[in-house]
Amino acid sequence: MALAWYTQLSAGSIDNFNTLVRRFTAQYATSRLHHITSAALASLKQGNDKPLRAFMERFASTSVKICNLNLEVALHAMLMELKPGPFVDNLCRRPPQDMDELCA
């Protein structure tokens, strides 16, 4: 893929290594791995028409990708993103101490 891009550059368009690096980075910047932070958890919403199990699976899938995730932050984010209803009302009356208790 990179070789195909490189061979299609116009002759003389790369005059030094810094130019090559700059053009390469611009071409492939979207392919770069992005570090996921706990802020990604805030973008997850259960949604009114989504079952709790599907939300929990998405949340867990995102959580495991976050390096050094603070479990208190994760617990708070999950509680904030659940759709309103009897389950959330119960959690507000008796907040879980940790993620394991919430999942149970």
Domain boundaries, the chain: 2-31, 39-103
CB 72 within 8 A of CB 40: no
Q: What is the pLDDT of residue 87?
A: 84
Q: What is the pLDDT of residue 15?
A: 93
Work out the pLDDT band at 16, boundaries 50, 70, 90. very high
* Residues 71, 68: Cα–Cα separation, whole Å: 9
Residue 99 has pLDDT above 80, yes or no: no
- pTM (two decimals): 0.59
> Per-residue pLDDT tens for 64-93?
888 888 888 888 888 888 888 888 888 888
* Residues in Cβ contact with 55 at an 8 Å cutoff, skipping those fewer than 6 apart: 44, 45, 46, 47, 81, 82
Neighbours of 22 (CB within 10 A): 12
Residue 97 has pLDDT above 90, yes or no: no
